[in-house]
Each structure stands twice: as structure tokens, then as C-alpha cells.
Amino acid sequence: MKYRWAAVVCAAVLGGIAMPARADVSALYEVAQSDEEFDDFEQAIDFAMTIEVNDAGNARIHLTGRSSYFLIRDDEVYSVRRGIDGPYAEKLDDLEAVIENAGETGGISLELLDQFPKIELVRKGKVRVGQWTGTGYAQRDFDGAVGRPELVLSKDETLPEIGKAFARLADGRFGSIRTLSLVNLFGGFGLYDPEIRKLLQDGTPVRINMLELAEISNRPIDPARLELPARVLTREEIEQQNKPFEWAPAFDRQPKG
């Protein structure tokens, strides 16, 4: 009987503890304007990235000047673009299945990814980026020199949903190709390296090459921003859309690209 009473008390206590609800969160990443390690060209770049995540874990990732954006819904990653008749979405997994050669998305054949040199990471200890602190990672160059920490990952308790969204975008071989255009991490090879993408599972980036986390907001996100457009292309439609035009008939051999 006393065990039953203890269970009742335990349940009452636990029931009275208010568990924090997961709120909407938005992150703004900008090119650092005061870092002396950047050259004049990098200082002049006015470039930013936003990541918006709602309480259900759905996310939208948008880049300065791009008409397209990435949308994560129910753990599926989509690219949303403008079409003649309105916006449409493509599932990245379907794109990977269709495009055997990635000339249209990065100029690098998917078959070559596994042959890329591995990045030798050097852990640089604690690095402060704005108001956040994280573990810094630099790359050891071929001559043995170690550069600035291009990747800084934080375990700040206010940031995990942002980190999960970015890691999900970078997950998978095709995801790394798309993400390469975002950050050019470690000379452009970083996000092809599976070890780098594995690291992203364990923290939230507060620095990714030139981009640094500048601001966090908990302002409610309009649900419409995280909805898929009415048209989501099927794999067959994606295949038709990416089908090459006829090769010049005067030449017998058509390179694969």
C-alpha cells in the first residue's frame, strides 16, 4: 500500500512540474564585419542566412539574394523555387535519385565524392563568437599549417533546434552539395567529408567559415512560411525537368558531363 501511495505522490509532483514548451526560434547569420582575420574582399560581402524553426521542428533556411529556399517538413528536405505558374517544391532525396551527375548543382560528379581528400581537423578549444561560446575546429593544411577555426559548434541550450535544422540539411551526399553553396566550409570540401557532417549532429554552428550567428529571435513564425507549396514535383517530373536537350548531331560522342 505504501508503494502505491509513493507512486501517487510521485505522479502528483511530476504533474505539477511545468516542462518548458519548445518555442519558435529564428537565427540570423551574417558575415563577420569586425574580424581582423578576414581580408578586405570578405569584409565587403553583404551576405546573410536565416534559419527559422517552429515548435514542431519544421524549418526554413533562406539565403540572401536567392529566390529559392530550403524547407524541412516531417524530417524531409525540400528545395522550394519560383516557377512560371507559382512556387513549387522538389524533395532533395528525389533529386539525388534523378541526377547522376551533379553538373547542374555543383559541377562535381556524385561518384567522385567518396574520393575527395579527408579533412584533417584540429580542435582549437573554446572560441567566443558574439555572445556564444563553442568548440572551434580548424583545418590542417598540406604544409602542416593550421588556420583559423572556420567551424565553431555551441551547445548553448537556446540553440539546439537551429543546429538540428542545419545538420538535417547537410545530411546525405546530395545535401552536402546544396549546402556547399551556403558556406564553402574548409575551402569547399568540408561538407563533403562525412566526419564534418557527423560533427554537425553534436552542436549548433555559431561560425561557419565567414558566417557567424548574429541574432536569435523567439518571435512567433507565421505558419504559412513553413507550409509546402501546392505543387510538389514527383520524381518523374523532376527526371523530365533535368533531362538534357539533344546533343549536337554533328558529333558522335556525347560526354557524360
Q: Show Cβ contacts of residue 224 under 8 Å, excluding neighbours closer than 6 positions.
A: none
* Sign for the pseudo-dihedral over CA of 192, 65, 70, 54: positive
Specify the pTM. 0.79
Q: Is the pLDDT of residue 69 over 60?
A: yes
Asked whether the beta carbons of 138 and 147 are under 8 A apart, the reply is yes
Query: Rounded mean pLDDT of 65-85?
Result: 90
pLDDT digits (tens, 9 = 90+) for 232-253: 999 999 888 877 788 888 888 7
Mean pLDDT of 11-33: 66
pLDDT (tens digit per residue) in 102-142: 444 444 555 666 676 677 888 999 999 999 999 999 888 77
What does the block give as the cell for 94?
528525389
Give the whole-angstrom CA distance, residue 146 versus residue 152: 15
Task: Specify the pLDDT at position 103.
Answer: 47
CA angle at 76 for the pair 189 and 156, rounded to the nearest 5°: 65
Per-residue pLDDT band for 11 (boundaries 50, 70, 90) equals very low
Specify the pLDDT at position 81. Answer: 92
135-161 confidence digits (pLDDT tens): 999 888 777 888 889 899 999 999 999
Q: What Å distances lie between residue 243 and 79, 153, 194, CA to CA?
A: 18, 40, 29
How far is the C-alpha of 206 from the C-alpha of 38, rounded, in Å?
17
* Mean pLDDT of the 212-218 span: 96
CA distance linking residue 241 with residue 245, whole number of Å: 10
